[in-house]
């Protein structure tokens, strides 16, 4: 994970506001313009729960790209990666904003309409009234529906359109002035097939296990937090390029519950078989059967926080559990941190705080 120095090197105008690294403020630069921005991270530094505050001007420019930025918050491994993505999106947004005020020659419209006719109107999901934004729909070989959004500038087809897709990897097109929308569409289909194994693996997990997070995963989401038992779960991070290889696994729960799972994973790692599905491999290595969607309800695992009595708090679910075997009460990290800070018996070492469980006092 990239650290503060890497962030300072790439974004020298964005500075940390505290020692914990939970608040950053400054400017992001795009096309020679500086835009004020403030990023607030939760105590666990998880990007998916970050809050972004910015100037009214920047908010207006990025308004149409909010869903993309939310996806990137969930998929980027660190703040540096997200800021790179944010700057890329901002460059595209500024370019498209400028293009709206550029008069398009008659050849632009005749060429675009001709390209759409060659492609086939049945593949078009949306065209805006100014003929600057086109959304194309496609179905992969497994029947999954996908969209690609094309933002065309006034120099099309001399210059390629900007392409926005819900992918876990970057989608870069190969383009020459004689190319058309059909060429982009064919590259889009090829990219869909290259990600087939990745989506197959995650679709099986989504369909056969209880996924606690994310609740409604996008196609770009690479992680799944899967329920293993009561207040025990495993977070699996799948590599889109190598979906059949052993993913990164992180266990959440009380130590007495997750320690045996970690031990089994370490001892059985050599049994991983890329010829069978990712889910079956996880079952074999951990020597468990994941709770079935057909038998149990999600409420059997989605236990409310023992402090705020809610399951979701600012999008986060309870991810800390009391280690006392007879207790095992789950808590939101933010709730637990605030609770322990208020106890005179608690002690803190750097960014870790130790104290008594609100339920069992252990």
The CATH number covering residue 227 comes to: 3.10.110.20
Name which residue leads in pLDDT, 167 or 253. 167
Q: Does 13 share its domain with 84?
A: yes
Distance between CA 300 and CA 296 in Å, rounded?
7
Task: Supply the DSSP string of 276-305, one letter for each residue.
Answer: S-HHHHHHHHHT--PPPTTTS-GGGT-PPP
- Domain around 127: 106-194
Residue 87 belongs to a domain: yes
Angle at 195 between CA 237 and CA 222, to 5 degrees: 20
pLDDT tens track for 286-341: 999 998 877 666 666 667 787 787 777 776 778 788 877 777 788 888 888 888 88
Q: Does 310 share its domain with 296?
A: no
- The closest alpha carbon to 230, from 257, 256, 208, belongs to 257
Distance between CA 348 and CA 362 in Å, rounded?
17
Name which residue leads in pLDDT, 148 or 93. 148
Check if the beta carbon of residue 321 is closer than 8 Å to that of residue 252: yes
Q: Does 110 share its domain with 180?
A: yes
Q: Does 176 share its domain with 147?
A: yes
Distance of CA 195 to the CA centre of its chain: 16
Give the confidence band of 167 by pLDDT, cuts at 50, 70, 90.
very high
The CATH number covering residue 328 comes to: 3.30.40.10
Q: Does 155 share its domain with 234?
A: no
What are the backbone angles phi and psi of residue 296, rounded to the nearest 5°? -115, 160
Give the pLDDT confidence score for residue 2 in this predicted structure.
52
Task: Please give the share of the chain, as a percent, with pLDDT higher than 90.
Answer: 41
Lowest mean pLDDT among 47-61, 118-132, 159-173: 47-61
Mean pLDDT of 117-121: 95
Distance between CA 214 and CA 5 in Å, rounded?
30
- Residue with tokens 């990600």, as numbered in its chain: 195
Mean pLDDT of 2-19: 79
- Count of residues in the chain: 362
> In 3-state terms, what secondary structure has residue 222?
coil
Q: Distance between terminal CA atoms of the chain?
A: 33
Q: Does 146 share its domain with 223?
A: no
* 127, pLDDT greater than 80: yes
Structure tokens that stand for 225 in this block: 């937090």
**Which residue, 164, 194, 224, sits at the end of a domain?**
194
Residue 43 belongs to a domain: yes
pTM, rounded to two decimals: 0.65
The CATH number covering residue 177 comes to: 3.10.110.10
Q: Does 82 share its domain with 144?
A: no
pLDDT tens track for 17-61: 888 888 899 889 888 888 899 999 888 888 888 889 988 888 888
The per-residue pLDDT of the chain, averaged, comes to 87
Residue 172 belongs to a domain: yes
Name which residue leads in pLDDT, 163 or 353. 163
Kind plus residue range of the DSSP H or E element containing 237? strand 232-237
Distance between CA 216 and CA 299 in Å, rounded?
16
- Give me the long-range contacts of 119-126 (CB less than 8 A, separation at least 24): 119/180, 119/181, 119/182, 119/185, 123/185
Structure tokens that stand for 161 in this block: 């359109």
Give the confidence band of 281 by pLDDT, cuts at 50, 70, 90.
very high
* 141, pLDDT greater than 70: yes
How many Cα atoms within 13 Å fall on the side-chain side of residue 50? Answer: 28
Torsion of CA 130, 131, 133, 137, to 10 degrees: 140
Task: Supply the DSSP string of 182-213, one letter for each residue.
Answer: HHHHHHHHHHHHHTHHHHHHHHHHHHHS-EEE
Angle at 166 between CA 224 and CA 25, to 5 degrees: 80
Q: Does 227 share its domain with 294?
A: yes
pLDDT tens track for 226-267: 989 877 889 999 999 999 999 999 898 778 888 999 999 999
Contacts of 174 (CB under 8 A, 6+ apart): 183, 187
The CATH number covering residue 85 comes to: 3.10.110
Q: Does 219 share its domain with 289?
A: yes
Give the pLDDT confidence score for residue 1 in this predicted structure.
44
Distance between CA 135 and CA 254 in Å, rounded?
47
Give the pLDDT confidence score for residue 116 in this predicted structure.
95
Q: Does 180 share its domain with 253?
A: no
**Which residue, 99, 122, 148, sits at the end of a domain?**
99
Check if the beta carbon of residue 322 is closer than 8 Å to that of residue 329: yes
Q: Does 256 share its domain with 186?
A: no
Q: Does 316 share its domain with 345?
A: yes
Domain count, the chain: 4
Give the pLDDT confidence score for residue 286 in this predicted structure.
94
């Amino acid at each position: 994970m990239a650290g503060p120095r890497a962030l300072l090197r790439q974004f020298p105008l964005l500075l940390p506001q505290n020692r914990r690294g939970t608040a950053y403020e400054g400017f992001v630069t795009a096309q020679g313009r500086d835009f004020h921005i403030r990023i607030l991270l939760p105590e666990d530094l998880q990007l998916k729960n970050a809050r972004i505050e910015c100037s009214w001007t920047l908010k207006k420019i990025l308004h149409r790209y909010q869903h993309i930025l939310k996806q990137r918050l969930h998929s980027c491994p660190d703040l540096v990666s997200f800021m790179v993505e944010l700057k890329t999106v901002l460059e595209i947004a500024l370019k498209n904003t400028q293009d709206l005020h550029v008069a398009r020659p008659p050849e632009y419209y005749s060429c675009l309409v001709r390209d759409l006719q060659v492609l086939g109107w049945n593949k078009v999901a949306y065209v805006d009234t100014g003929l600057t934004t086109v959304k194309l729909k496609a179905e992969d070989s497994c029947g999954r529906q996908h969209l690609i959004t094309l933002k065309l500038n006034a120099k099309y087809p001399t210059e390629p359109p900007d392409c926005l897709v819900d992918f876990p990897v970057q989608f870069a097109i190969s383009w020459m002035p004689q190319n058309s929308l059909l060429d982009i569409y064919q590259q889009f289909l090829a990219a869909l097939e290259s990600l087939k194994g990745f989506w197959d693996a995650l679709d099986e997990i989504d369909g056969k296990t209880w996924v606690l997070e994310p609740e409604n995963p996008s196609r770009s989401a690479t992680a799944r937090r899967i329920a293993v038992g009561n207040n025990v779960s495993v977070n699996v991070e799948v590599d889109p390029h190598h979906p059949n290889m052993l993913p990164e696994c992180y266990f959440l729960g009380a130590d007495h519950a997750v320690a045996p799972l970690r031990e089994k994973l370490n001892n059985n790692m050599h049994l991983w078989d890329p010829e069978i599905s990712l889910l079956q491999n996880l079952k074999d290595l951990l020597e468990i059967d994941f709770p079935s969607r057909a038998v149990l309800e999600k409420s059997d695992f989605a236990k409310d926080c023992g402090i705020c009595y809610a399951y979701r708090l600012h999008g986060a679910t309870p991810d800390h559990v009391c280690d006392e075997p007879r207790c095992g009460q789950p808590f939101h990290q933010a709730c637990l941190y605030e609770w322990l800070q208020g106890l005179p018996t608690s002690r803190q070492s750097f960014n870790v705080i130790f104290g008594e469980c609100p339920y069992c006092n252990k």
